Amino acid sequence: MLRLVQISDTHLSRRKAHFAGNWSPLAAWTAAQRPDFVIHTGDLTIDGADTEDDLVYCAGLLRDLGIPFRVVPGNHDVGDSNHRHQPVSGERLARWTRHFGPDRWVEDAGGWRLVGLDAMLIGSGHPEEAAQFGWAEQVMRDAEGRPIAWFLHRPLFLEAPDEPDTGYWSVRPGPRRDWLALVRHYNVALIASGHLHKAHQCAVAGTRYVWGPSSAFLCGPGVQPEMPGEKRLGAVRYELGEAGDLRAEIVAVPGLAEHWIDDLLEEIYPAHTDTRPAQG
């Protein structure tokens, strides 16, 4: 039995410490679960895309947990595909890699194959986008019958695999089709994401999709459209059995203060950085 904890969207920074108070309770709760791995599904930082110290700070916090951890980058960590001011770039990816290692990874544990993906490359046209897809195909082919779980920041879709473009909130329909073809072909058992700051799980065509909630803040209706899921903070606890059975429980973490980004948006993500539609 493999025990995982997924945490997400911590949005931490020494400079802008608005959500820093939620780290201690999250870290204490995570340690108490005694997981084999902690997996952070991105937006570790307030602005690692432009502020290297945010990456340094968050890497230190994760190391201090004393638990093996794996992370995938979010839009606030490495920039986003086609973002006007913070496009994902070689320079941003190199900074990420310096502090967290590669933005994509594979880990075999407890009979499972865990795969971390950089969702910020998807749809970017950056040379690493095609390289990542080719790598993922290979990693799927080489799974040798292990059940497979993916971890990525941005979800592949919000409500249905064939839905139209949801813009900022999920992967664009074009690349989504390619990634879903891999999901189907290789029977990916679990796809865990962050980014939406909402808690949700569902099963589609035999694949479990889990939206890990943020431990930092929630988004009001003025900044986030209607979509499935619950607006609550927390984390996810997983038990993955060798036979491919899986339990995923989205849980409240004691001691988290409930922040809403709406009141803090100007201060944290000022208009000049043009991340205003990018709260997730």
Which residue ranges make up the site for Fe ion (CB under 5 A)?
9, 43, 74-75, 195, 280
Nearer to Fe ion, 165 or 242 (CB): 165
Q: For residue 26, which of 56, 54, 73, 67 has the smallest C-alpha distance? A: 67
User: Min. distance of Cβ 25 from Fe ion in angstroms?
Assistant: 18
Strand spans (E) along 160-234: 190-193, 200-204, 207-211, 217-218
Nearer to Fe ion, 9 or 129 (CB): 9
User: Min. distance of Cβ 76 from Fe ion in angstroms?
Assistant: 6
Residue nearest to Fe ion (CB): 43
Q: For residue 99, which of 132, 131, 128, 62 has the smallest C-alpha distance? A: 62
Cβ(212)–Cβ(8) below 8 Å? yes
**CA atoms of 35 and 33, how far apart (whole Å):** 6
Give residue for tokens 């990542």. 132
Cβ(70)–Cβ(105) below 8 Å? yes
User: Min. distance of Cβ 218 from Fe ion in angstroms?
Assistant: 11
Written as six digits, the tokens of 280 are: 């997730």
Nearer to Fe ion, 74 or 175 (CB): 74
Nearer to Fe ion, 176 or 195 (CB): 195
Nearer to Fe ion, 11 or 208 (CB): 11
User: Min. distance of Cβ 280 from Fe ion in angstroms?
Assistant: 4
User: Min. distance of Cβ 147 from Fe ion in angstroms?
Assistant: 27
